[in-house]
Amino acid sequence: MNYKEPAPINPHEDDPFESMMSRFDIAAEILELEPGIYEYLKTPQLQVTTSIPIQLDDGTIEVFEGYRVIHSSVRGPSKGGIRFHPKVNISEVKALAAWMTWKCAVVNIPFGGAKGGVKCDPRNLTRIELEKITRRYTGNLLDIFGPERDIPAPDVNTDEQIMGWIMDTYSMHIRHTETAVVTGKPTYLGGSAGRREATGRGVRIVGEAALEKAGIDPKNASVVIQGFGNVGAVAAEEFVDIGCKIIAISDVTGGYYNPKGIDIQKALEHQRTHGGLLKDFDGGERISNDELLEMECEILAPCALEDQITRHNAGRIKAKIIVEGANGPTTAKADPILEANGVIVVPDILANAGGVTVSYFEWVQDRMGYFWPKEVVNERLARILTESFNSVARRAERHGVNMRIGAYVLAIERVANTLKLRGIYG
């Protein structure tokens, strides 16, 4: 489990929830949402803060704070990852839960949105301590989790093993094995083929669609990837497979630039032999994070954490297309600057939806007890994401807005229509 450093804090930008709401408000105005529907859709359905006391390996007791926010279950059980990070807070989790609602609706899968987190520093915890935190967190949320209620998944600093612990803890309490309570599990425990690579593969699928829309041949496209973790590294391999040239990559140790193209397999091998990091990688010139983001290229794929492109650096972005592999890498105040400069932004709620799409496939496979080969998973993923990209592009063109607002309009309309058809109980 590779630790990811927190993103730089931008005190001059909106907090994550307000940033999400500013896009929501624009889409709501376009859709002319009734005030009551507006209030319903913007308000999280459930917010939980829970105390997680555990005994550390040295015998001392420490109490951690955990969160779970269910934003919506209008279209189906809520779905969303769990992150372990020292900077986790309820505002961030609320924003991410809402993003999950819109993300699931954009790709038209029958889930609502949720998110969870535990405020802890995984670098300072042993594997045994992480297991204790995971199991206590799960135990505290037994009444919330469930394959028909709320389905967690991996996120920042959580992995397949942590999902396995959640599944086991839940199963022990209900007295039978329930694989469908989480996704992103090891395949031995009911995980889906292709799940680990799904988000990165999805970044490439929509990136390729954006290149086609812009009339750019992938063989003439240079790509810059911020964040060489699971999402960024897989996306890099996928872009190379369609003929693109990766000219810059980065992780927490810094950025690396090679105008002739970085050897991605060499970078992956370096990572494998250097504790999962790119530190001292000799396949490119060292560059800063700012230099990487502001590099001239066809595609910039920010695959790290939130708030990387802000109103302070948006005017210096030279990429023709931004494909948001991370959640919320662009702040709301950066959007109009990028749009004015003609930068096409494939928004996070579409660009990184590959993960939740294959999580949906995993949930379906777990519930029927029959598993698909990877080729089938990948074909169905490509079909859903390509159709979703085209639907978002058409909606953006119809309303004369950028793709981000087009995605929000499409997602909010789907959730609002479902809500109107269901009605309000009470």
Residue 14 banded pLDDT, cuts 50, 70, 90? low
pLDDT at 13: 54
Question: Looking at the domain 198-351, which fold is it?
Answer: Rossmann fold (3.40.50)
- Which is it for the CA torsion 188, 189, 190, 194, positive or negative? negative
Spatial strand order in the sheet of 222-226:
285-287, 254-257, 245-251, 222-226, 299-302, 321-323, 344-346
Q: What is the rounded CA–CA span in Å between residue 393 and residue 416? A: 20
Torsion sign over Cα 140, 143, 144, 146:
positive
DSSP, residue by residue, 324-393: --SSS-B-GGGHHHHHHTT-EEE-HHHHTTHHHHHHHHHHHHHHHT----HHHHHHHHHHHHHHHHHHHH
What confidence tens digit (pLDDT) does each residue in 138-162 have?
Answer: 999 999 999 999 999 998 899 999 9
Helix H or strand E segment including 117:
strand 112-119
- Which residues are within 8 A (CB) of 392 and not within 5 positions of it... i.e. 6 or more apart? 106, 350, 403, 406, 407, 410
Q: How many beta carbons lie within 10 A of that of residue 164, not counting itself?
A: 21
In the chain, list all ranges with CATH 3.40.50.10860: 45-180
How long, in residues, is the chain?
426
Please state whether beta strands 150-154 and 222-226 pair in parallel, antiparallel, or not at all (unpaired): unpaired
Where would I find the H helices in 43-142?
Answer: 90-106, 127-140
Output the CA–CA distances (angstroms, integers) from residue 87 to 97, 136, 162, 219, 325, in the order listed: 16, 20, 19, 40, 20
Task: State mean pLDDT over 16-32.
Answer: 90
Distances in Å between the alpha carbon of 301 and those of 106, 168, 169, 306, 416? 20, 36, 36, 13, 31
Give yes or no: 185 in active site. no
- Over its C-alpha atoms, the chain yields an Rg (Å, rounded) of 21
Catalytic residue among 115, 132, 245, 320: 115
**pLDDT score recorded for residue 6:** 36
Please name the amino acid found at residue 125. Answer: L
Mean pLDDT calculated for residue range 379-383: 98
pLDDT of residue 10 exceeding 50, the answer is no
At residue 328 the predicted structure's pLDDT band, cuts being 50, 70 and 90, is: confident
Angle between the 16-31 and 403-422 helix axes, to the nearest 10 degrees? 70
Residue with the two structure tokens 């709320």: 150
> SS3 of 28, please?
helix
Q: Confirm if 225 and 235 have CB atoms less than 8 A apart.
A: yes
- Tokens of residue 283, six digits: 């396949």
Q: What is the pLDDT of residue 11?
A: 44
- Whether residue 2 is predicted with pLDDT greater than 70 in this model: the reply is no
Neighbours of 52 (CB within 10 A): 20
For residue range 80-96, what is the model confidence (pLDDT) as tens digits? 999 999 999 998 899 89
Question: Measured at the alpha carbon of residue 127, what is the angle toward residues 122 and 133, in degrees to the nearest 5?
Answer: 70
Given this model, what pLDDT does residue 7 score?
41
Q: What is d(CA 369, CA 247) in angstroms, rounded to the nearest whole number?
A: 43
Those residues with Cβ within 8 angstroms of residue 15's Cβ, 6 or more apart along the chain or in another chain: 91, 92, 95
Buried b (16+ CB within 10 A) or exposed e, 377-402: bbebbbebbeebbebbbebbeeeebb
CATH 3.40.50.720 domain locations along the chain? 198-351
Look over the chain and give the mean of its residue pLDDT values, rounded to a whole number: 94
CB atoms within 10 A of CB 84: 27
Average pLDDT value for residue range 33-50: 96
**Residue range 239-246: average pLDDT?**
98
Answer whether residue 417 shows pLDDT above 60: yes
Distance CA 367, CA 110 (A): 14
CA-to-CA distance for 65 and 295, rounded, in angstroms? 39
The predicted-structure confidence for 51-80, as pLDDT tens digits, reads as follows 999 999 999 999 999 999 999 999 999 999
What is the CATH topology of the domain spanning 45-180? Rossmann fold (3.40.50)
